[in-house]
Amino acid sequence: MRLVLITGMSGSGKSVALRLLEDIGYYCVDNLPLPFLRDVGGHLERAGYRDLAVSIDARSQAALAELPALLDGLHAAGHTIKVLYLTASEAALVQRYSESRRRHPLAQRLRAPGGEGEPTLVESIQSERDLLEPLSGIGYTIDTSALHPNTLRQWIREFVDSPRAALTLSFESFPFKDGIPVAADLVFDVRNLPNPHYDPRLRPLTGLDAPVIEFLRAEPVVEEMIDDITAFIDKWLPGYLADNRHYVTVAVGCTGGQHRSPYVVEALARRFGGREHVLVRHRALNRRVPS
């Protein structure tokens, strides 16, 4: 089993790390009490899970001293163990808590017995840092003080040596007369292309039928439009990937959604099919189209 243990300061990005690992296939457990780590790992391994990510914070303070020995035991049992320790400066943590208006998770526990008040945010942060100090050197440390979340995600992906999650690229034809699909990320208008609708022989057909395909292929401007759309997607798709997007919907519209937009969508799907997971959807066609 591969185990990634995430620990460190509250507010330093542990939730970002855990969500990223969940997206790439890890079974994730947040704030697991440390004594249960071995039992949970064994149960999940028997259930067929091979990748486990666990977040542990200072609320497990009574057992934190046992963590090195526990990890040594898991490693001796044949598991691959990676420990990620996230931290941030006091100023960065105070700003994040101020923006989120969340209470520090240790505030209640640090209240003096019989006392009426809680420690300040700064006092809670310092206490947590002191509690976690023995763990700061047992894993890979990332200071997230001035780090963009996308950069943190990329560094974590590299740390666990995992490729990026597959992107689903959906190409969808639609009729402008019905409005633009609300889920579209990119919208292209091909109503300026030659329209088979004005040929009585082609009017009852669709952009998936051979006579319409031949008609559109014979028009150089159609291929030029497809080339331009392809170049645009090629240029900007890396930006969606860098933003950790898992789904991108490209909508192509014409007047009735019957001829030009289905043809263009099919052509685009063929061009990108060998690089990404591609889906094809035709909103205005009555028959089901395999993707």
The pLDDT of 69-97, averaged and rounded, is 88
Percent over 90 (pLDDT), the chain: 43
Taking only Cα atoms into account, the Rg of the chain, rounded to an integer number of angstroms, comes to 27
Q: CA 204, CA 273: separation in Å to the nearest integer?
A: 29
Averaged pLDDT of the chain: 86
- Best mean pLDDT range from 84-93, 132-141, 261-270: 261-270
Is pTM beyond 0.85 here? no
CA-wise closest residue to 169 among 270, 262, 69, 86: 270
Residues 26/4, Cβ–Cβ less than 8 Å: yes
The pLDDT of 216-234, averaged and rounded, is 97
Q: Can you give the pLDDT at residue 206?
A: 96
Give me the numbers of helices (H) and strands (E) for the chain, helices first please: 9, 9
Count how many Cα atoms sit within 13 Å of the Cα of residue 168 in the half-sphere of its side chain. Answer: 9
CATH match for 2-159 among 3.40.50.300, 3.30.70.20, 3.30.465.10, 3.30.70.980: 3.40.50.300
Give backbone dihedrals phi and psi of 284, rounded to 5 degrees, phi first: -105, 0
Residue 65 is given by DSSP the state G
Residue type for 125, please? I
Q: Can you give the pLDDT at residue 289?
A: 42
Q: CA 117, CA 273: separation in Å to the nearest integer?
A: 61
Domain residue spans of the chain:
2-159, 168-282
Burial of residue 100 (CB within 10 Å: 0-12, 13-18, 19+) is exposed
CA 32 to mean position of chain CA atoms: 23
Strands (E) located in 149-193: 168-175, 186-189
Q: Can you give the pLDDT at residue 63?
A: 65
Q: Which residue has the higher pLDDT, 210 or 7?
A: 210
Q: CA 208, CA 135: separation in Å to the nearest integer?
A: 61
Q: Can you give the pLDDT at residue 44?
A: 83
Q: List the structure tokens of 206.
A: 């669709």
Q: pLDDT of 26-64, one tens digit each?
A: 999 988 877 788 788 778 888 888 899 998 887 766 567
Find all residues with CB under 8 Å of 98, minimum gap 6, and list them.
Answer: none
Q: pLDDT of 112-137, one tens digit each?
A: 555 566 788 898 899 889 888 877 77
The pLDDT of 220-237, averaged and rounded, is 96
The pLDDT of 165-194, averaged and rounded, is 90
Residues 260/254, Cβ–Cβ less than 8 Å: yes
Burial of residue 177 (CB within 10 Å: 0-12, 13-18, 19+) is exposed
Q: Can you give the pLDDT at residue 4?
A: 92
Task: Please name the helix (run of DSSP H) or strand (run of DSSP E) that holds residue 94, with its range, or none.
Answer: helix 90-100
Burial of residue 2 (CB within 10 Å: 0-12, 13-18, 19+) is middle
